[in-house]
Structure 1
């Protein structure tokens, strides 16, 4: 069954960065042919606590996607990390997705319980909170992307594409 998927990335946020690895990854995903789903991209979200969630939720409301995958850069990480939860103050909201089967046997992907306490986590929290009460079950996931190099980019892209495929199969919950 063809699904509508919204993929988001961030713009550059530090002066020493020339690109944002989350956006580099989505640029490459947009060039992959044969993905049997309707991919929609909301790229280069502003690194802003209010604007990023506002733009993402507006796009979610417009598209009504089956799945939302938000991506952000994690400069200090070495692998793709799928975020189990997002926090806002003392509150936390957990993705309803069953993450261990999603990442099973992926070479450069692991589960994280710390979405970073920055704009990435604010976006994830806002998206999960927005989707939670909807009668149409829609899932969301946040994926942190490490700095991409010529060596790690191919296996990270491969893991991400496998992750997308698994997310769109019968829900592994």
Structure 2
């Protein structure tokens, strides 16, 4: 299975999504080999790298992971929307505004991972987690949407996106900003992947939000 993280962006020198993902590279989970790849934080290059990895590996499951600084919990993303609207430029200096990701694509795609079952397992393990209703409109959503668009003709291949908080080292001089140790994220991803591979039907529990 393919697991991706991102390079640093926004002035950061590290990205915990890649630190966590690469810790699982070469491991076996539920009988499947994990292959980790780092994606560039660019609107152009990220999907090129992702599609190349999918074509090369022909994975049974793809989970992309990104940093969501300021969030307190591991966020299991439910939906990707067909728009790029960048608050800040990407690492190539590109800043699309109200641009479709795929001209021939639908307005949105839903994850095909069992995110409610994953949520139950994570909470039972004491890991702070939530179902998220928005992956933003930056490169993370771009990759999530592009992933689901690429998998639309590959039935049976699960795909989805997980956002993680800052690592503690990133907020050492910012009191009150939430973080989650990378080691804890590694445990969470390992558990989430196992559930995604082994679950049949998704759990039927509430995961909605009022706003």
- What is the TM-score with the length of structure 1 in the denominator? 0.86
What is the aligned partner in structure 1 of residue 180 from structure 2? 152
Q: Distance in 1 between matches of 2:4 and 2:22?
A: 11
- Structure 1 gap segments, 5+ residues each: none
Q: Distance in 2 between matches of 1:171 and 1:46?
A: 33
Deviations 1:65-103 (A, max 9, x none): 000010111111111111101001381111123321121
| Superposition map of 1:1-173 within 5 A | 5-15=1-11, 17-30=12-25, 35=29, 36-43=31-38, 45-89=39-83, 91-106=107-122, 107-134=127-154, 136-149=155-168, 152-153=180-181, 154-173=183-202
Q: Please state whether the residue corresponding to 2:24 is helix, strand or coil.
A: helix
* Larger relative strand fraction: 1
What is the aligned partner in structure 1 of residue 100 from structure 2? none
- Structure 2 gap segments, 5+ residues each: 84-105, 170-178, 203-211
Deviations 1:23-62 (A, max 9, x none): 111132237x56332111112x111112101110111011
Number of aligned residue pairs: give it: 165
Structure 1 pair 86–34 and aligned structure 2 pair: CA distance change class (3 A): closer
Q: Answer yes or no: is the 8 Å Cα contact 1:108–1:159 preserved in 2.
A: no
Moved more, 33-42 or 122-131: 33-42
Q: Distance in 2 between matches of 1:165 and 1:142?
A: 15
Q: Please state whether the residue corresponding to 1:143 is helix, strand or coil.
A: strand
Structure 1 pair 50–7 and aligned structure 2 pair: CA distance change class (3 A): same
**Higher gyration radius (CA):** 2
Compute the displacement of 1:155 (Å). Answer: 3.2
Q: Distance in 2 between matches of 1:74 and 1:100?
A: 20
Compute the displacement of 1:105 (Å). Answer: 4.4
Q: Distance in 1 between matches of 2:42 and 2:194?
A: 30
Moved more, 143-152 or 58-67: 143-152
Q: Answer yes or no: is the 8 Å Cα contact 1:72–1:144 preserved in 2.
A: yes
- What is the TM-score with the length of structure 2 in the denominator? 0.72
Moved over 3 A (4+): 33-36, 170-173
